[in-house]
């Protein structure tokens, strides 16, 4: 009774469920001679020599361990009068009810400990109702890949375009795959493959424990401590084998910290495992074809003179990008892209403690530091030496408390037999993950004003006069009318010297004194002076777009990465689950395995991006914006100027107009020592260290569109306020700070699952309930920034007859902006439109006055009727436009069954409903809405998006063929509903229309998989699978149908981008054993192949679809030909291998030496093509009518056709169109 009450308390108090599917080990102990069940037999399980749990068999000889970690165990049974038996290396697979029966011999017992028997994995798992695969640490070590996604892709139903790419599971989108480490979902870096104890890939039959997923799950269990001190060192390199310079060095150390002193076991009760790895890759994404890079000599020429003046023998001249004249002799071909290095430091730690026989706790933590140079689009040929760097860090901690309430160490077996509740346990788990990310140009870092700095431009503000007739004197007199900036000198300086060299072609820029003949005054009619920066090709904050690239293919030299980014996320997870076996009446035949729990997770994400290059332009605009010029009629005299030809002339004071939200001009003058407001300031004469972001107001920067942020204020300081805080005025400064709250969605879930057997059929029945809250404000109406009055209120206030089919809350549109005498033009209910007389129409285009896009909603708030830009008013109330997100509840039944035909065969099937929170395009901030009308018809996210849904069916059959082989086949069908896709909102006041996202996509997947598993027979083991799949839908990703959906919602199904009709996978391992198990050739006493093996991994995949186009353009095509995704890319074939040999250096020291070869045959698999030709090397443009005409025009110009053709070739041969090339890695692992 007490145990039952405690179990109920655990369920009520649970806050979340640990995302381990229930893993258990059970079996029966029998007498070898009689076959009778053995009562009261002690059964214990060990992991890495550490005693994990112990129990006793019941009256039927059954034992059970529930809620244990996946991994490799030794299972030992003992009973007085019988020889103890130890089954070694028992693979306890994740999420499975693992079964192990043991037979014991009676009679004389040998004083040599337990008899050790090697474990053999069962070929048929009759009660497994989950599709997918489990990959053990031994298998991972033997495979020729280190990438976790590539490991997962060996399973049937998992597809990738190339090694390491994001997998798609059974036709689901790539963002529908979730990753778990030690039971906690992670978004950052995963652990190294060498630290994986076991990896479970779930492709179907998802148990109720898992949620927030519509595709597949990759769940990783890390290795744990050992009972004895042990460790390992690993090193791997490709430095002398290929041009990619990949290097890895790692270590691991494991052992006990505290032991339990007893006479027998002296077992560890507190143990640790620590591991680390450093990875350096000279090229983190090796190209499958040679890449082009300018020679050092030519680069020096281009950087010295990026822009040149060209004159031909006909007297024609023009200014061009120097790179436009580069030929094939000016570039070199490389096998690896320079300046693409990546390095990673990964540390992992794990502590396991047994507080008692029934309670254990575990802590795991990891740290990752990653630096990765990358090449922006177009930079590869001329500018890759200026590549920016991405800096990424992640921290992750996970604490687990597990309490087993059942019998774990013997005790009163009679009570255990009589109890209706057995193997009860609960687990509490808390996880925290923090990621930080920064991207910037290493030359400038976060010195924002350094990015666009070219040099010092010295201006003199000279007085300007006008000549007018003085009627009293009847003679002309001079009148001071203002000031004009006259450029006096230019001095290039700073770290952007190459950009400054763009001005070298300008003759006036080479002189010490510019406008030296221009006096210190002028007349309003003068136009001879170089007064504006527009005369330069490069100035602070701007470079002439005409010279930004060569032939519009390749960025010109000296380009600066115009983005400084920082951000990150914090993920808080707290979890608990409970499980127990319920035996009605104490009968084993009616056993129900009950699992239940709940889940809570909150993510807090932030991002801050500055486009710093334009800061100088903004500073230039704002420095003197308060100066309105000279008011000739009202200004006071501040001095006298001796104007030649006119004599002494009064200098008039400047008119000042202060704006409360324009503060730069004030703060700038304060920073420069208190310059008066009526004095001009030339920011182009300042250095970057004299300027800073905090000189600007939030509005000054945001009005120019150079900032994008959330979870920060406009200066990049973290901010944890609310949505409404954005619109509030800072009481200290009196202006708005435009601080944006972070994105803080909340996800919670609860589930209940029962697994039982009825008439030899194993059932798994579960129900999961997910709760998703975007936890933010959302627009009340996608069709209007402000709330529109409903029909009931409108007709109550203004009269008129409302049609009978028009509901109370249908939105009212008027024929004009006459709000005093409004005339109804149309009604709208969501996306449904009606004429003024109530006639329904198929869209707004069928209604007069509405189809034009110029619409006049009857706004609810009277203030909006007079000012449609009311959102920018200090009096704006967010409740006028926004409301809380409607929390989404989703109910997901999960049903599966397995029907064993015999011990060698069974049928299985499942039906699942899966739901995933919106995986993309949900983030819209107050900053987006504040500039809603300035954005025009651009793309906006939609925070009102609902979760996506998948309905999944599968039926299958498995059969053992021999003692070492079996087959498994299944057919599956999926419906993907409410998928995210772009859509056009029309009509919208002021802007006409815009593009956003909706839950409008639909897809179906029909597939068949066949798998063959041959366990090691002699020296060979083989796993092979084949997947036939047809994945069709209305869209492959959230943006795939943007152009089509401009014409309305398209419901035609076509093959998805990741549809693979045929995929073959094979893993073949040929391995010789050691000692008496060696069966290889001998040369004298030399066994050269002892403990050596070869692992081959082969994949063959039919081509993915693409949309063919009719007319070739430069590097692209236009004009649809055939159906969407109606053409196919070629098949791809990939073979990889790992050869290794194990040596014993000393009694406890082993050395494994290996060679890994990825893409052994060095195939150039085509993974992308040009749409007009279907070729990866020819886009068809040069042979087209347009291409021929363009070549003729170039041949007749000042530029050279050969240079154009060479440059075109460099852009045309795109390494991203091919799979990764062959890579060699040689390494060694020493364990001790």
Per residue in 612-628, pLDDT (tens digit) is 999 999 999 999 999 99
Residue 591 in tokens: 């056993």
pLDDT (mean) for 204-216? 94
Lowest mean pLDDT among 510-524, 657-671, 786-800, 1066-1080: 510-524
Contact indicator for 960, 124 with CB cutoff of 8 Å:
yes
Are the CB atoms for 360 and 352 separated by under 8 Å? yes
Q: 71, 90, 118 — which closes off a domain?
A: 118
Model confidence band, residue 12 (pLDDT cutoffs 50, 70, 90): very low
Distance CA 1112, CA 1170 (A): 9
User: H or E stretch including 1163?
Assistant: none
Q: Is residue 555 part of a domain?
A: no
Q: 859: pLDDT confidence band, cut at 50, 70 and 90?
A: very high
Domain, as residue range, for 43: 2-118
Cis preceding linkage at 987, omega within 30: yes
Report d(CA 637, CA 56) in Å as an integer. Answer: 106
In a domain, 940, yes or no: no
Q: What is the pLDDT of residues 873-917, one digit of tens each?
A: 988 999 989 999 999 999 999 999 999 998 889 999 999 999 999
| pLDDT given at position 95 | 74
Please give the average per-residue pLDDT across 34-63, as a whole number: 87
Element (H, E) at 329: none
Two tokens, residue 285: 């994404």
Tokens of 1129: 């890319």
Please say whether the beta carbons of 1059 and 1101 come within 8 A: no
**Are 503 and 650 part of one and the same domain?**
yes
CB 1038 within 8 A of CB 1002: no
Residue 533: per-residue pLDDT: 77
pLDDT given for residue 469 in this prediction: 81
- pLDDT mean over 434-460: 95
Lowest mean pLDDT among 281-290, 730-739, 822-831, 1175-1184: 730-739
pLDDT tens string 84-119: 899 988 888 877 788 889 998 886 655 556 777 777
| Residue 1104 · residue 1058 · CB < 8 Å | yes
Q: Last residue of some domain: 884, 903, 931?
A: 884
Compute the chain's Rg from CA coordinates: 37
For residues 70 and 91, the answer to whether their CB atoms sit within 8 Å is: no
pLDDT value at 3 more than 60: no
Which pLDDT value is given to residue 452? 94
User: Would you say residue 214 lies in a domain?
Assistant: no
Asked whether residue 25 is assigned to any structural domain, the reply reads: yes
Q: In what helix (H) or strand (E) does residue 1186 lie, and over which residues does it extend?
A: helix 1185-1195
Q: Is the predicted pLDDT of residue 496 greater than 90, yes or no?
A: yes
Q: Residue 306: is its pLDDT beyond 80? A: yes
The model's pTM: 0.90
Q: Per the domain annotation, does 1019 fall within a domain?
A: no
647 and 786, same domain (yes or no): no
644 and 784 co-located in one domain? no
What CATH code is carried by the domain that includes residue 28? 2.60.40.1120
Confidence at residue 410, expressed as pLDDT on a 0 to 100 scale: 43
Question: Which H or E run contains 1212?
Answer: helix 1201-1212
Split into its structural domains, the chain has a count of 3
**Is 201 part of a structural domain of the chain?**
no
Whether residue 650 is found in the same domain as residue 508: yes
- pLDDT tens-digit series, residues 381-427: 999 999 999 999 999 999 999 998 865 444 444 444 557 888 899 99
How far apart, in Å, are the Cα atoms of 512 and each of 490, 507, 684, 751? 8, 11, 17, 78
* Residue in the block written with tokens 């001679």: 33
> In the predicted model, is pLDDT for residue 1000 greater than 80?
yes
Say which DSSP state 303 is in: H
Q: Is there a domain that residue 519 lies in?
A: yes
Tell me the C-alpha distance between 150 and 1082, whole Å: 36
* C-alpha torsion sign, points 1216, 1220, 1225, 1230: positive
pLDDT at 830 over 50: yes
N-to-C CA span, the chain: 50
**Are 649 and 788 members of one domain?**
no
pLDDT digits (tens, 9 = 90+) for 929-951: 999 999 877 899 999 999 999 99
Percent share of the chain, pLDDT over 90: 72
| Tens of pLDDT, residues 1054-1076 | 999 999 999 999 999 999 998 88
Q: In this model, does residue 985 exceed pLDDT 60?
A: yes
Contact 1206, 332 (CB under 8 A): no
Nearest-CA neighbor of 19 among 202, 273, 272? 202
pLDDT band at 204 (very low <50, low <70, confident <90, very high): very high
For residue 617, give the nearest of 513, 700, 542 by alpha carbon: 542
The pLDDT of residue 124 is above 80: yes
**Does 74 reside within a domain?**
yes
Give the end of a domain, one of 857, 884, 911: 884
User: pLDDT tens digit string along 809-820?
Assistant: 999 999 999 999
């Amino acid at each position: 009774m007490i145990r039952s009450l405690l179990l109920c308390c655990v369920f009520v108090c649970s806050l979340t469920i640990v995302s381990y599917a229930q893993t258990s080990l059970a079996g029966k102990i029998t007498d070898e001679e009689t076959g009778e069940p053995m009562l009261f037999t002690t059964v214990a399980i060990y992991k890495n020599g550490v005693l994990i749990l112990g129990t006793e068999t019941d009256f039927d000889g059954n034992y059970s361990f529930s809620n244990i970690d996946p991994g490799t165990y030794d299972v030992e049974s003992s009973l007085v009068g019988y020889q103890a038996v130890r089954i070694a290396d028992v693979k306890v697979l994740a999420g499975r009810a693992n079964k192990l029966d043991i037979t014991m011999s009676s009679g004389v017992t040998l004083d040599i400990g337990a008899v050790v028997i090697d474990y053999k994995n069962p070929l048929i798992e009759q009660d497994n109702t989950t599709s997918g695969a489990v990959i053990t640490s031994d298998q991972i070590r033997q495979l020729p890949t280190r990438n976790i996604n590539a490991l997962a892709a060996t399973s049937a139903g998992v597809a990738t375009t190339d090694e390491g790419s994001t997998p798609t599971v059974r036709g689901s989108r790539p963002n529908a795959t979730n990753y778990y480490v030690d039971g906690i979902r992670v978004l950052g870096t995963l652990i190294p493959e060498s630290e994986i104890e076991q990896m479970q890939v779930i492709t179907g039959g998802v148990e109720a424990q898992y949620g927030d997923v519509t595709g597949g799950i990759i769940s990783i269990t890390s290795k744990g401590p050992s009972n004895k001190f042990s460790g390992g060192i690993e090193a791997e390199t490709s430095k002398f084998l290929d041009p990619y310079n990949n290097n890895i060095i790692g270590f691991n150390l494991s052992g006990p910290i505290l032991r339990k002193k007893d006479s027998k076991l002296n077992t560890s009760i507190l143990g640790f495992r620590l591991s680390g790895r450093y990875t350096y890759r000279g090229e983190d994404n090796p190209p499958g074809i040679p890449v082009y890079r300018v020679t050092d000599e030519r680069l020096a020429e281009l950087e010295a003179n990026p822009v040149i003046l060209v004159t031909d023998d006909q007297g024609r001249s023009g200014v061009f990008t120097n790179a436009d004249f580069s030929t094939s002799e000016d570039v070199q071909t490389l096998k690896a892209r320079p300046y693409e290095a990546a390095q990673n430091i990964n540390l992992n730690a794990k502590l396991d403690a047994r507080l008692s026989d029934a309670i254990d706790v575990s802590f795991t933590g990891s740290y990752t530091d990653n630096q990765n140079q990358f090449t922006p689009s177009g930079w590869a040929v001329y500018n890759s030496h200026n590549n920016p760097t991405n800096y990424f860090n992640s921290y992750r901690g996970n604490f687990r408390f597990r309490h087993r309430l059942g019998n774990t160490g013997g005790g009163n077996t009679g009570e255990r037999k009589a109890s209706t509740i057995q193997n009860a346990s609960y687990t509490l788990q808390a996880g925290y993950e923090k990621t930080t990310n920064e991207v910037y140009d290493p030359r400038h870092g976060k010195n924002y004003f350094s990015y666009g700095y070219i040099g010092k431009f010295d201006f003199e503000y000279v007085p300007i006069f006008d000549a007018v007739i003085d009627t009293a004197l009847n003679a002309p007199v001079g009148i001071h009318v203002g000031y004009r900036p006259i450029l006096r000198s230019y001095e290039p300086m700073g770290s952007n010297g190459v950009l400054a060299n763009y001005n070298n072609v300008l003759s006036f820029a080479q002189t010490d004194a510019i406008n030296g003949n221009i006096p210190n005054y002028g007349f309003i009619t003068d136009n001879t002076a170089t007064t504006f920066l527009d005369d330069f090709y490069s100035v602070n904050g701007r470079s002439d777009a005409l010279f930004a690239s060569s032939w519009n293919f390749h960025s010109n030299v000296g380009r600066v990465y115009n983005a400084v980014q920082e951000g990150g996320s914090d993920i808080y997870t707290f979890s608990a689950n409970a499980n127990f076996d319920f035996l009605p009446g104490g009968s084993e035949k009616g056993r129900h395995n009950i699992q239940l729990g709940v889940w809570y997770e909150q993510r807090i994400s932030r991002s801050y991006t500055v486009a710093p290059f334009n800061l100088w332009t903004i500073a230039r605009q704002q420095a003197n914006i308060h100066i309105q010029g000279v008011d000739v009629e009202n200004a006071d005299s501040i001095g006298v100027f001796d104007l030649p030809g006119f004599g002494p002339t009064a200098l008039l004071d400047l008119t000042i107009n202060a704006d409360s939200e324009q503060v730069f001009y004030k703060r700038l003058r304060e920073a420069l020592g208190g310059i008066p407001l009526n004095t001009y300031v030339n920011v182009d004469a300042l250095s970057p260290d004299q300027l800073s972001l905090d000189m600007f107001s939030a509005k000054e920067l945001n009005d120019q569109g150079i900032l994008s942020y959330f979870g920060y204020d406009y200066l990049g300081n973290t901010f944890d306020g609310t949505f409404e805080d954005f619109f509030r005025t800072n009481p200290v400064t009196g202006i708005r700070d435009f601080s944006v709250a972070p994105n803080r969605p909340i996800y919670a879930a609860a589930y209940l699952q029962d697994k039982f057997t009825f008439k030899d059929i194993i059932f798994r029945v579960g129900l999961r309930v997910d709760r998703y809250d975007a936890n933010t404000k959302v627009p009340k109406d996608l069709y209007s920034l402000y709330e529109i009055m409903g029909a009931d209120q409108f007709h109550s206030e203004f009269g008129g007859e409302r049609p009978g089919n028009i509901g109370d809350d249908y939105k009212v549109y008027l024929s004009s902006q006459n709000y005093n005498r409004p005339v109804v033009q149309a009604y709208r209910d969501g996306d449904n439109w009606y004429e003024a007389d109530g006639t329904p129409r198929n869209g707004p285009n069928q209604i007069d006055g509405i189809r034009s896009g110029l619409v006049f909603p009857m706004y609810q708030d009277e203030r909006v009727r007079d000012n449609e830009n009311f959102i920018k008013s200090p009096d704006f109330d967010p409740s006028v436009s926004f409301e809380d997100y409607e929390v989404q509840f989703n109910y997901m039944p999960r049903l599966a069954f397995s029907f064993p035909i015999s011990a060698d065969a069974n049928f299985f099937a499942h039906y699942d409903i899966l739901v995933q929170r919106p995986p993309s395009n949900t983030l819209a901030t107050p900053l987006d809405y504040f500039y809603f009308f300035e954005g025009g018809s651009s793309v906006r996210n939609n925070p009102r998006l609902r979760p996506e849904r998948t309905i999944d069916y599968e039926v299958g059959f498995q059969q053992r063929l021999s003692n070492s082989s079996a087959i498994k086949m299944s057919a599956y069908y999926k419906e993907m509903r409410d998928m995210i896709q772009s859509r056009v909102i029309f009509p919208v006041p002021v802007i006409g229309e815009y593009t956003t996202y909706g839950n409008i996509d639909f897809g179906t997947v029909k597939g068949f998989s066949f798998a063959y598993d041959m366990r090691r027979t002699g020296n060979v083991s083989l796993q092979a699978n084949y997947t036939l799949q047809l994945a069709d839908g209305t869209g492959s990703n959230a943006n795939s149908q943007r152009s089509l959906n401009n014409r309305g919602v398209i419901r035609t199904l076509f093959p998805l981008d990741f549809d693979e009709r045929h995929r073959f996978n094979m893993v073949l391992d040929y391995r010789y054993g050691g000692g008496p198990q060696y069966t290889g050739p001998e040369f004298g006493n030399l066994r050269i192949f002892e403990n050596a093996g070869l692992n081959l991994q082969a994949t063959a995949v039919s081509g993915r679809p693409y949309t063919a186009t009719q007319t070739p353009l430069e590097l692209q095509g236009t004009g649809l030909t055939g159906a969407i995704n109606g053409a196919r890319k070629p098949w791809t074939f990939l073979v990889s291998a790992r050869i290794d040999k194990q040596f014993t250096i000393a009694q406890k020291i082993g050395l494994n030496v290996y060679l890994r070869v990825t893409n052994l045959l060095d195939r150039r698999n085509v993974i992308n093509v040009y749409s007009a030709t279907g070729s990866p090397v020819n886009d068809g443009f040069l042979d087209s009518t347009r291409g021929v005409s363009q070549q003729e025009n170039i041949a007749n110009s000042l530029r050279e056709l050969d240079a154009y053709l060479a440059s075109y070739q460099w852009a045309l041969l795109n390494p991203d169109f091919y799979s990764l090339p062959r890579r060699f890695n040689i390494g060694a692992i020493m364990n001790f």
